[in-house]
Amino acid sequence: MMWREFKALGTDIIFFLPEVSESDKILAAAEKAVLDFEKRFSRFISGNELDNFNASPETEIEVTETMAELLRLAKYYYLKTGGKFDPTVISSLEGIGYDKNFLDLGANNIQAESDKINLKKIQTEFAARPKMETLKVVGRIIYRPREFRVDLGGFAKGYIVDLLGATIFQRVKNFLISAGGDIWAVGNQEGAQGWDVAVQNPLTPEENIFFLNTRGKRLGIATSGILERTWKRGNFEAHHIIDPGSGLPVENNILSVTVISADAVKADIYAKTVLILGTEKGLEFIENEKDSACIIFTKDQGTLISSRANNYLKK
């Protein structure tokens, strides 16, 4: 088994694949593709493709094919999730202090910030923002109102994982790609059927509560939680999952959600969607998605498992 690990997109990126012809070239090309993607679409890099899009005053703008595809996916899943997945939450993320890259800065430095947060101001500005439904994508031409901005971080890891699987890894029969827990698994790990994927306890990440097995299928697996990225600004304790209904970090009984789905983008977005919806509506949402399943961990240390998740739990 060959593997490569590096940091990008604010997390650890890991590739696993059996030794095959040109394994080193495949791994090197995949690492370069992730780093190039980060340079183009991270909201923390000034002057890149995403920053230029957000800063442009134009209401009609031509973008690259990749940017157009990202925006099409964002609009599709915004509508699919009833607005729970919403990349226009960028103003709230910045307002509550998530205006720096965790990997570069470190959570402790964010916690050291003493500025008080004006929650009413954040919510007022959030309510007045240009909405996702105003976005229109026609080929590579984007139509949007002035001051329309997006943060692609809500599904960028899932997108690049899927893209690698469909391009650089397309001729490899067995591999696993992990981007901070956003996983695209294909085929089998060496000496076994499928890939085993650990599901961690959100309160004690060193503890694995469950193991999932992909059963040799092509699957996306993603986890979203409120403890992954937290900080304190003044007397306000924040995390990075924004409820589009309030413009503030979501508040309910869920600590984390792991979703198994047809690809990593869908798993990534649906994990956030279930977390925002809450336990009852979140489970209902997943049960209505025939290619998806989930495991929910609650603040009272309970576990809720959707019906199809049992198909992947390793006994």
Q: What does the pLDDT look like over 203-258, one tens digit per residue?
A: 998 899 999 999 999 999 999 999 877 777 767 788 889 999 999 999 999 999 99
CATH code (residue 163) = 3.10.520.10
* Residue 61 or residue 113, greater confidence: 61
CATH code (residue 127) = 1.10.3980.10
Going by C-alpha positions, the residue among 160, 156, 180, 154 that lies closest to residue 250 is 154
Does residue 194 sit in the same domain as residue 66? Answer: no
**What local confidence, expressed as pLDDT, does residue 311 receive?**
95
Domain count of the fold of the chain:
2
Residues 258-286, mean pLDDT to the nearest whole number: 97
Does residue 165 sit in the same domain as residue 264? Answer: yes
**What local confidence, expressed as pLDDT, does residue 108 receive?**
47
Residues 2-15, mean pLDDT to the nearest whole number: 92
Angle at 57 between CA 56 and CA 60, to 5 degrees: 90
Does residue 291 sit in the same domain as residue 213? Answer: yes
**Going by C-beta distance under 8 Å and a sequence separation of 6 or more, which residues neighbour residue 15?**
3, 4, 5, 27, 30, 31, 175, 176, 177, 178
Residues 266-285, mean pLDDT to the nearest whole number: 97
For residue 191, count CB atoms less than 10 angstroms from its CB and return exposed for 0-12, middle for 13-18, buried for 19 or more.
exposed
**What local confidence, expressed as pLDDT, does residue 18 receive?**
81
Domain region containing 74: 54-154
Residues 47-60, mean pLDDT to the nearest whole number: 97
pLDDT at 112 over 70: no
- Please indicate, yes or no, if residue 148 is contained in any of the structural domains: yes
Does residue 142 sit in the same domain as residue 260? Answer: no
pLDDT at 47 over 70: yes
**What local confidence, expressed as pLDDT, does residue 115 receive?**
63
- Please indicate, yes or no, if residue 74 is contained in any of the structural domains: yes
- Please indicate, yes or no, if residue 35 is contained in any of the structural domains: no
Report the percentage of the chain scoring pLDDT > 90: 77
Does residue 128 sit in the same domain as residue 181? Answer: no
- Please indicate, yes or no, if residue 258 is contained in any of the structural domains: yes
Contact between residue 85 and residue 156 where contact means Cβ atoms under 8 Å apart: no
Does residue 165 sit in the same domain as residue 292? Answer: yes
pLDDT band at 103 (very low <50, low <70, confident <90, very high): low
* Residue 125 or residue 19, greater confidence: 125
Residues 109-126, mean pLDDT to the nearest whole number: 74
pLDDT at 315 over 90: no
pLDDT at 114 over 60: no
- Please indicate, yes or no, if residue 37 is contained in any of the structural domains: no
Does residue 162 sit in the same domain as residue 145? Answer: no
Last residue within a domain, chosen from 111, 138, 154: 154
Residues 54-61, mean pLDDT to the nearest whole number: 97
- Please indicate, yes or no, if residue 109 is contained in any of the structural domains: yes
Last residue within a domain, chosen from 154, 178, 209: 154
Does residue 10 sit in the same domain as residue 159? Answer: yes
Does residue 149 sit in the same domain as residue 162? Answer: no
pLDDT at 291 over 70: yes
pLDDT at 167 over 50: yes
Please state, in angstroms and rounded to a whole number, the distance separating the CA atoms of residues 274 and 285. 7
**What local confidence, expressed as pLDDT, does residue 105 receive?**
45
Residues 29-54, mean pLDDT to the nearest whole number: 97
Does residue 167 sit in the same domain as residue 145? Answer: no
**What local confidence, expressed as pLDDT, does residue 228 receive?**
79
- Please indicate, yes or no, if residue 291 is contained in any of the structural domains: yes
Does residue 145 sit in the same domain as residue 206? Answer: no
Does residue 161 sit in the same domain as residue 305? Answer: yes
Last residue within a domain, chosen from 101, 125, 154: 154
- Please indicate, yes or no, if residue 187 is contained in any of the structural domains: yes
Residues 304-310, mean pLDDT to the nearest whole number: 96
The chain-wide mean pLDDT, for the chain, equals 92
pLDDT band at 123 (very low <50, low <70, confident <90, very high): very high
